[in-house]
Amino acid sequence: MDTTLQDPLVGQLLDGRYRVDARIAAGGMATVYRALDTRLDRVLALKVMHPALAGDGAFVERFIREAKSVARLDHPNVVQVFDQGADGSYVYLAMEYIAGCTLRDVLRERGALQPRAALDILEPVLAALGAAHRAGFVHRDMKPENVLIGDDGRVKVADFGLVRSVDTVTSTTGAVLGTVSYLAPEQIEQGTTDPRVDVYACGVVLYEMLTGGKPHAGDSPAQVLYRHIHEDVPPPSALVPALPYQLDELVASATARDPGIRPHDAVALLGQVREARGALTDAQLDALPPQALSAEHDGAEDRTSVIPRSPTVPRALPVDADPAPDGVHRTTRLQSPPGPDRRRPARPRRAVLAVVAALLVVFGVGAGVWYINSGQFTKVPPLLAKTEAQARQRLEAAGLDVGRVRRAYSDTIERGTVVSADPAPGSRIRDHDSVALTVSLGPQTVKVPDVAGQPLAKARARLKAAGLEPGMVTRAFSEDVSGGSVISTTPRTGTERHAGSAIALTVSKGRPVDVPDVTGDDPDSARQELADAGLRVKIATGRVDSEFDKGEVATQSPRDGSEAAEGDTVTLTLSRGPEMVEVPDVVGDSVDDAHDALEGAGFEVDEDRGLLGLFGDTVKKQSVPGGKRAPKGSTITITIR
């Protein structure tokens, strides 16, 4: 059955611009559609956040901020972000559409790949991540689903939706974002992220390409996480004996459990990959892989997950723990131990106490206290995108109090509705505790200040003080505004714009001045004439041959007749005099031959025939004797008899 027919967005025009044509994929945080940009008439991919997340103002603000960061990654192996916006409850990214498949599709169909193919895919992935790492970002969710292979063979990294700055903390709620099969040990235990978590994930992806299966398997996500923390990734040659040791070393280096001994970022790992490739023969690179491993790819371990850190992922969780039967087949959010509201078979009180004691040991004191006191807690109801009055009613109905209410600007959340709550909706909270609310003031708009007539530096400072950004500067002549000061802004003064908008500035070049012609003048006269016109003078260090006498102005820049701004500089180049050239001897030559010789040497030719030479064709005399030197371009007169 075609599920896209049931998708309410298919066939809709989003934000008055993007026509949604088909659903491509659905993930844990967003759905991706193929769409047409009706304004530019181009096909693109539209990534739309799930409504449950789109209602979380803090998440949306982070989504927008991170989208802007990724848009700055101009790299041929990164899926480009064209636009970002919101239409009602739909928050979206408009991205480059890649016709082709994902690396996951390739692995499902073919299983293990030849080493050459695996490295051909890994290298552009590392180049893309290296650009991100050097720009200060970490992807955090590298996996085959996020490696796109175009029909033209291009490899691109997608879904930077979890990208974060290198120095930012992953989560403030104790949760780890990522996909369990590719999480680095430090992500699971401390939630810390730096470029080395992407290096670890790429090592796991390389292992998977070389063997056809993941290095750590388990009946539940918890078991997979346990193995990431406590077990090394095995060498791929353990499953594929024909693989050379260089590939084992590459995987071991990238997936070292101690991040301190991994390559420090994707650029460093790319260097190791190229070194390993260079050490392999063509036969080793093109060795046929074994039949694909029989691991089922049901997609559960391949989905981005929100995984609370300790106590829900205990360091000492046994590998053979009894998981939920379908634990591996769902998007994973590992929960705290079930509360007493779950129905359980009756058992003696002593057995119940033993279970509680075991939980205290395995899940930590915090989980045990939660278990004992669960009856004193409730959950914060859904509040996001509700009006302040609706939020108050819901909190009162849940037996909770309204705490401090603050107001904040938001480009995406409607004015008067809840942007965020603390604790967040769904959080466990004691009965009668208070919940703080942040209510949207709508988009922050400011009026463009009047900066006309102000010096450029001062105008820029005033725009920033008003919450706007100085934009492109265009310069123009002005009879009224002095040079270097602002003539006008675009948009004009008084126009309302969102805070942070760029304002273009037109800056005066000063009063226009017609540049006079000073070629042939001596330098002092030329300097005075230009100064009288309001212009400055610079004498070039070099000199040129010219028709003008030595020391006179040979050329000027700008030329005469050009317009310059008052106070602009005109550069003068002085003459070292005309070039002196030896005059050919043409006496006795025919008139035509004489012309050819003299003009070929760079002279002008004049004829003196008189009455006797009207019908003659022989040169009897020349004004400058042959062998003498004369200024190039000067006129030589020949007498004809």
> Could you list the active site residues?
141
Is residue 470 reached through a cis peptide bond, with omega within 30 degrees of 0 on the bond before it? no
Structure tokens at 615: 């019908």
What is the separation, in whole angstroms, between the first and last Cα of the chain?
108
Residue 588 backbone class (left: φ over 0; alpha: ψ -120 to 50; beta: rest): left
Task: Let me know: does 585 contact 626? Beta carbons within 8 Å.
Answer: yes
Considering all CA atoms of the chain, what is the largest pairwise distance in Å, rounded to the nearest integer? 147
Tokens of 412: 């995406």
Burial of 512 (0-12, 13-18, 19+ CB in 10 A): middle
Q: What's the per-residue H, E or C state across 263-330? A: CCCHHHHHHHHHHHHHHCCHHHHCCCCCCCCCCCCCCCCCCCEEEECCCCCCCCCCCCCCCCCCHHHC
- Which residues, in sequence order, are CB contacts of 97 under 8 Å at separation 6+? 34, 43, 44, 45
Q: Strand, coil or helix: what is 420? A: strand
Residues 6 or more apart in contact with residue 327 via CB below 8 angstroms = 219, 220, 221, 222
Closest CA to 460 of 501, 497, 490, 503: 503
Distance CA 438, CA 422 (A): 9
Residue 1, SS3 per DSSP: coil
Q: Token digits for 297?
A: 């790819």
**In Å, how far are 293, 358, 566, 606, 630 from 220, measured between CA atoms?**
19, 20, 78, 105, 100
SS3 of residue 189 by DSSP: helix
CB contact at 8 A, 415 and 440: yes
Residue for token pair 């066939």: 11
